[in-house]
Each structure stands twice: as structure tokens, then as C-alpha cells.
Structure 1
Amino acid sequence: MSYLMYLRKSRADKEAEARGEGETLARHEQILSELAAKMDLPIGATYKEIVSGETISSRPKMQQLLIEVMQGQWDGVLVMEIERLARGDTKDQGTVAEAFKFSNTKIITPIKTYDPLNEYDEEYFEFNLFMSRREYKTINRRIQRGRVAAFQDGWYIAGTAPYGYEKIKRKGDKGYTLDIVDNEAQVVRMIYDLYTHGELQDDGSYLRFGSYQIKDRLNDLHIQSRSGSTWSAATIIDILRNPAYAGYQRWSWRKVQKKLVGGNIVESRPKNDDCPKVKGRFEAIITDEQFELAQKIREGKPTPIRSTNALQNPLSGLVYCEKCGTLMTRQPSNTKDHYPVLRCPNSKCTNISAPLYLIEQKLIEGLAEWADEYELNWPKKDWEDTEISTATYQHSVDSMQGKLDTITKQLSAAYDLLEQGIYTLQIFQERRSTLENQKEETETELQRLNRELEISQARARAKREFLPTIRHIVDTYWTIDDVFVKNTMLKEVLEKVDYLKTERNKKGGRGNANFSIYFYPRVPKF
């Protein structure tokens, strides 16, 4: 008989902690431990849910609990209240109810023990789950009404402050507001100035910057983002489209949308610039006019349209720039042939692009040469006898493990003989010393044999699986039209590929492979 203790915080618990009522999980664990001791219930494990989630899918410990309950691992689960198990939708509640009912697992609370095979307990259990869900919806509606009211009143309700501000709550205020962080605000003003007005040139004209040029300027000036990392173009765009810098706050800018795709619920958070906005109770960093100008410029830029979502790069996710370490990307060439090239997307990197087909060709040729060299590096006897040597080493490991088990039992028996008075202390010490020396020698030899076994197994895998896979790729690669299949095949045998090209091809020399590639095979380690 073994029981599981499940602990989870609710929103009310967090509010109680804020009032100084102590740490919730610790209090609940003490109460349930006292209950278990009183009922003489052995606790086999304790699961603490430290994440807040409405559904089972967002609570990993609850998922683990349900799996183990369905497998019949526990005789019962101790929990403070039925509501701690499920507050999700009808589907989640049904999952919980069925798991406990069909596995005949009891639910023990400080108030009542629920037997899933008892008809009245089952009805009471399902009723409690229903009321828990109803209570959750009522509380959630009240909270959302409060958030909407605070938003409309100008209080800042988002979790974190945007770059350039800090979130504060002054004494006597009902809600939070924002204070300007001077050094960050200067960076925000510079971003908007470069984007909307530009930088004065020697000829008296102004050159406007795009998001990529702005992020390069900030990184060149060694200005760190709030996270301490380098700036990205996406971060610049988010700053340019955030109305907080003009003194406004937005509601439901990235509202969660749920769709049923292939029988699964998929969540997305699309950006919606037409969401409701109100004037906030904080000072603006830029003017309304500059913010509106930035939106007109941003919306006036063409959005890249992909003609297809299908994978077009057979080397996707594999080839890295040897100079800067950036993952290289496919791009159509600007020549009249429009053949695709592989290029480093880092605008500061000087690595030169090359035709994609040429890199593919050299990679396949390199794989063929590597496979031959890899096989030649082994002595012929080792190559031919891999399966035999693996079986031999496995037998030796099993034999040595058996010897170690015997010595361990003999050592334990020596202690028993000492306690029974059959061994004198001197005889016991001599016997123990001998056995411990034998044990140490046996353990050392067992480690050596295990290492040899791992090497032999790796060689067997290479002979049986890895090299045949590489040779299959080399033989069939150019007969396959599906780019995704090609990419999958290469990722099966390659960790990554480093690419370097320092000199441009001369006119008419497109087929000159004056670049170097170094690939890292997923060869079995030994």
C-alpha cells in the first residue's frame, strides 16, 4: 500500500501569502503529512505543482500523476481539496474522474475520503469538480472585469514594463504606473529619430534607417538590450509599434486564439495593432506625431510574400558560417539565372555566398570519400569481427558482474558472522580486507570491460547502420526530388557543416568551388 501527496497553489493561496499567512505548499504538506500519519498511510512520493495552469496540459506534475494513477501505481492520492486536482473544462474533469474510477484509486482530503467505486462518492466527486469549474469561471470574470476597469482608468496592467520604463506602484495608488528610465529612454528616442527622420549626411540630406540598420548601429555602439544581449531587428520593430512610448497602453494586442488542427488544440498569439488603446497614467517618451509617422513608414514597407511554405533548402539547419557561427540561409541570386545561393545573413560578416547546388555537390562527394576513409581507419580484423567481439565482451561483462555480486555477498556475510560471534574481530578484519581488495580490483576490471563493450557496440552500429545509411544517401541523393526528404536524410547522418569562402569567383566562373566545407558526422562515439 502506497500513497501519493499532490500539492498545488491556487490564486487564493498567493493572495494569502501576500498577506503574510506563510508559504502555502509548506503548510499544506504539513497538514497532509499529519493526516497520513493519523490514518497510517505510507507516502511514496510528493508532487508539488509550482506552475499556474487552468488545464491539465499546462501542469506537468498533474500529467505525471494521472499517468501513474491510470497504471495503478498508487492506492490513493492525498490532496487538500478536490478542486486542486482539476479546474479545467469538462474534458479535463472527465479525464480525472475516469482515471481514479477505473484504477480504483482513492482520493483522501482532510475533510473526506472519496472511494471511486462508491456510487455516492462518485457523484459527490463529480459535483465538486463541476462546482470548482464554475467557481473558477466566476473568479476569472471578476478578475478580468477588474483588469478592464484598471486599464480604462489608465493604470498599467501588463506584467513587465517596456524598455525605457520601469513599473512602479506609489503609496496610495490603486494600481501600477510607469516611470521613465532616462538612459533607456534616450535609446528609444534615438531609435525613433533614426527611423522617422534619419541621420544627416555630408551632402546635407537625411538618410533614414531601417530596423536592421538601427540594430547594427546599437550593437556597434555596444548598447545592451534589457536582457543584456545584442539587439535584433524584431526587437526594434516591437519598440516602433508599441504605443506606450507615446503615452498609451493597449489591450489584447496578442490575444490567445485557439484552433482545432488535426484533432489537437493549437494556440497562437497574433499581433493586432488595431486593439483598444487608452491614455496611460505615465509620461510619454516621444510625441504622438512621431509615433504615427513611424507607423506610416512601417506599414508602407512591402511585406515579403512567400509563394510556398514548402521547404526549399535541402541544407536547412545544417550549414553554419565558419567566420561568425551564424546559420546560413538560402536566397535567390540576383543574376539573370536566378539560381539560389547559400549566404550568411549577418550583415557584418564577410563570408562570401556560393551556389547552393555546388555546396550540395561537394557535400555529397565529401560524404562518399569520408565513408571510405572511415572504414579504412579500422584494422580489417576489427571490422570483420565486430559482432563476435561484442558478444564476447558482453559475456565478459556479465561474468565480471557476477563475480562482483558474489564478493559483495561474501562481504555482507562476513559482517553477519562477526555479529553472530563466529568470526573474531581479527579474523573479520583480515577477511574484510581481502574481500575489499578483491572488490576494488573487480570493479576496475568491470569498468574496463564496459568501456570495451561500448566501443565494440559503437563499431557494430557503425557497420550495421551508419555507414550503409551514408552510402545509401550518396547513391540516391540526386535521384530524389523532394527537398524535405533530402534534408531529413542529411540530418540523420550530419550534426552540422561549417562553410567558408574568402574570394569571389571571376566572371564566368560560377562552377568554381573555391570554398571549403567541414562536416561533422553523427558517427557512433567510441
Structure 2
Amino acid sequence: MIYTKNRYSDTLIHQLLTIGGEYPMILENRRYDICYVANYLRKSRAESMEDLEKHRMILTELCIKNGFKYVEYIEVGTSDSIDMRPKISKLLKEVEDGIYDAVCVVEYDRLGRGDLGEQDRIKKAFQKSETLIITPDKIYDLNNDIDDTYADLKGFFARQEYKMITKRLRQGKVVGARRGDWTNGIPAFPYVYQRYRDKYNEKGLVVNDERLPIYREMIEKALSGISTQKIAESLNQRGIFTRRGNYWSAITIYRLLVDETHLGQIISNKTRGSGHKHKRPNAKNYEAIPKSEWTIVENCHEAVKTKEEHDRIVAVLSSRKKIPTRSRKQSHVFTGLVKCAKCGHILTLHLVDGNAYVRPCWYTDPLGNKCKNSGILSDALEEIVLKEISKYQSEIINSSEPVDSQQSDRIKVEISELENLLQKYKKALETVNDAYELGDYNREEWQTRKRKWQKLIGQTENELYEMGKIYQSDRSVTDEERKQNLIIFLKNIRTMTDHVQRNDLYKTVIESIVYLREGNTIDVKIDFK
């Protein structure tokens, strides 16, 4: 099919660019031979799949009417970045290779509403290969000065419209979250959006009663010390899969366990910037916002776990993070429990001729100094530990005074150290700001140093928040509960033969075994829960 266009007068061009209106195809001496085209369809954020189908019908009729042979590229996505839209990325590569005579779109801005760099990238691909852009109203030849200028104008207005839409969406999301509306995408398991059977929560979440027992099983197992990997394996083995029919994974279980949405809350303002692998060049760097600055709205929907349960789970999972990955397999009775008194690192165990040994500590500090805490036979260490546990039980039973958890005392010390560190960081930030005001730094140096201290302050505040949760969780364990745990422990520890079960039982009463051996002198201190 042959298309031709005429040149406009300078006066008409000025009028068209001023009002931004469409102009009809007018004949020109230049001819375009169009046979092979690509139809590019993209669903924008505000559109439905029905809208996409209507656009597809328009382009299909356009091709049939003009005798074009066409290939379809359908993209369902909302990003303005080319790198985050695989279909347009592939199409531009084929356009650069000169595969098509033209690309058909319902509107010029369907190709992209990105920044000037993105739009220039699109234009260069079409100009280099002399590929046309066809809409139902107009043909764009970007090697023609008039069309090139007009395309720039269309791109400018499209970009401004996109920025306004995204700004309103962000504002709407923030306002909605503060009203208690759910604005965070697909709800976390076991919730659904708005309605489940006879339950209804306008713009909010409701509990799926069929999924709730599965979630509560996760909670109960996590509270009993079972790892997220074991929980996932148990569900998968019984044919209980995720909402999408996939296998559960340890990371999915972990995220559900620590998600505070399950407390009936909606939390916003947790991060800023983009952490995407292919983020736009002008996008702000991803940054986690300190928990003290989060926006938290309470009582937005039905809670499926208590605050006490949540804090205890966070404490359990945080303690597991301190144990080396290989030590979490629970291969031996003391796996993940024996801590070096010299350097604080977890000691590993190994088998020699059927006997389990605690390995010597060979941790090397940054200066190359080795720890060299000697090892011990696991059975010998266990006899010492059992005597200490029996002694501790007697002290609790015979004492009329409350027995504070050693774990709580240690956490209080860590909290105090973090608070002191936080004050130092805040003072350093004040010093940097003062130095900038006095002219000691230029603006770029000041911003670099300021970001450094702000990041450290945020990280320390987050650590304090987590440590506070762990402390409160530990304080919630009563002396009576400790006594009962010790009774159960001493009643069963000698008769159990399975290493995993014995390891779990030890973890109900002790936090860690602080071990030191120098020659024949052995010193063991136990941090009780």
C-alpha cells in the first residue's frame, strides 16, 4: 500500500504545534511503500483487558483495510521504563534491524511515556532504520523534520500526563493507607480483598476461613521453635500449597510470620526510591525508612495473631539468624547452642568414630589472630550442662524472689550500647551540618556525609526496634513457665534418642552454652531463657 504526504506552510505548522491538534494526511512528493508491520499494544495502568482487546481490534482492522502483513506485540504492564517492558525492548531491537516497514499503535505515546532519554532511544531506533509509526489518524516519519517536531510535542504532553497520573496514584495510596484502606496489592495469606462469603470490609481485608487454620499452624510451629524450612516441607508433603498452587518455601513462610499486616494493621511509608534491577537512570536509590517514621494504622481488619505471638516469633527467628546456616540442620544435640567464650562465635560439631565432638574454635580476627579455644567430647560437655541445669532448677524452685532471665539482662546491655551508638551518630550528623554552615564542606561533600550518617542512624534505630521486641517477648515468659519448661526438660532429656528432638528440647530452656577450655581447665556458663 502506498501513502504520500505534502508539506505544510510555516503558518499552518505554527498553528498546529501551538494547539497540539492532529492534522490530516496531505500528499507530498515522497512515497512510503508499507507491507510488513508490527502491531504494538500495551495496557496502561488505568485500563482493563477489555480496553486492550478494543485497541487490538482497531489495529487489526487498520492492517486488513490497508493490506498490511502484521505481527502482534502485546504488553501488559504499567512501567514507563523500556528495560522493564520486555515486549517493547524486543520490538525496538527488531526495528533497529530493519525488520518492519512500520509499527502500528493506537496512539503515539503507547510506545513510551518515559523521560527524554527513553523517548530519544525510541526515536533513534526508528530514525536509524527509517521505520514509520502509524496510528489510525496519522503516519509519523521521524526523519521528516515536521513529524519529528510533532512527535517531540506529543511525547512532552504524554510525559507530563504520566507524571501527573503517577503523582495522584502515590498521593491516593498514601491517603488511602492512612484511612485504613488496603492499597498494597495482593493481600497476604490468609486474607482476601473486601469480601469472603458473608464477611465484607469495604476497601479492606477479610480473613479466608479455609486458609486460616493453615496460617495458625505456621504460627504454632514457629512458636515451638520449628524452622521455616521444616514448616514449608510439612505443608508441601501433605499437599497443602500456596494460593497459586505452588510449593511453599522457607522465605515465603518467613515473610508471612513477620508480616505485621496479620496484627490487623496497615503500614505505609516503609521505603522510598526504587530497588528494581532495571530502574530508571533518574530514579532515587532504594532506602529503608526507620520504623519510627512508618505510618501505622491500627484495627483496620481482623487480626490473626496476637502482638505477643508476633514478638516471640521475631525473637525466635532473630536468634536463628545468629546461628551459621550449616548449624541449623540440627545434626547433633548441641547444634547451634555452643558459643565460644573468647570470640562469641558459634562452635560446630563433627563425628569421629561415631562420637560427636565440639570442634576447636579457629576464628581469625581481621588482624589474623586465631581464637584457638580447644574442643571437647559432646557427651562430656552434656554432663556439665545437665548439672548446671539441675542447679538452676533448684535455685528457681527454692527461691521466693522472681528470677530474671539472663537473656533479658544481656539484651538490656545490647540495647544500652545501641542507644549510646545512636547518640554518637546523631552528634556526628549535627557536626556535619554545622561544618557545612561554616563553609568547611561544599554542597556535594555535605550531602555525601549527611547521607552516610542518616543511613547509620536509620539502621541503628531499626536494630533498637527489633531488640526492643525481643526484650519484651523475653520478659513475657513468667517464672512459672520457666519452672514447667525445666520439669519437662529434665523428665525427657535422658530418655530421648533422636538428636533433632533433643536439640529442640535443649532450646526450650537455654539460649546458649558459653564454653571455654584452656588445657584441662573447662569453664561452662549457660544463658538460660
| TM-score normalised over the length of structure 2 | 0.48
| TM-score normalised over the length of structure 1 | 0.48
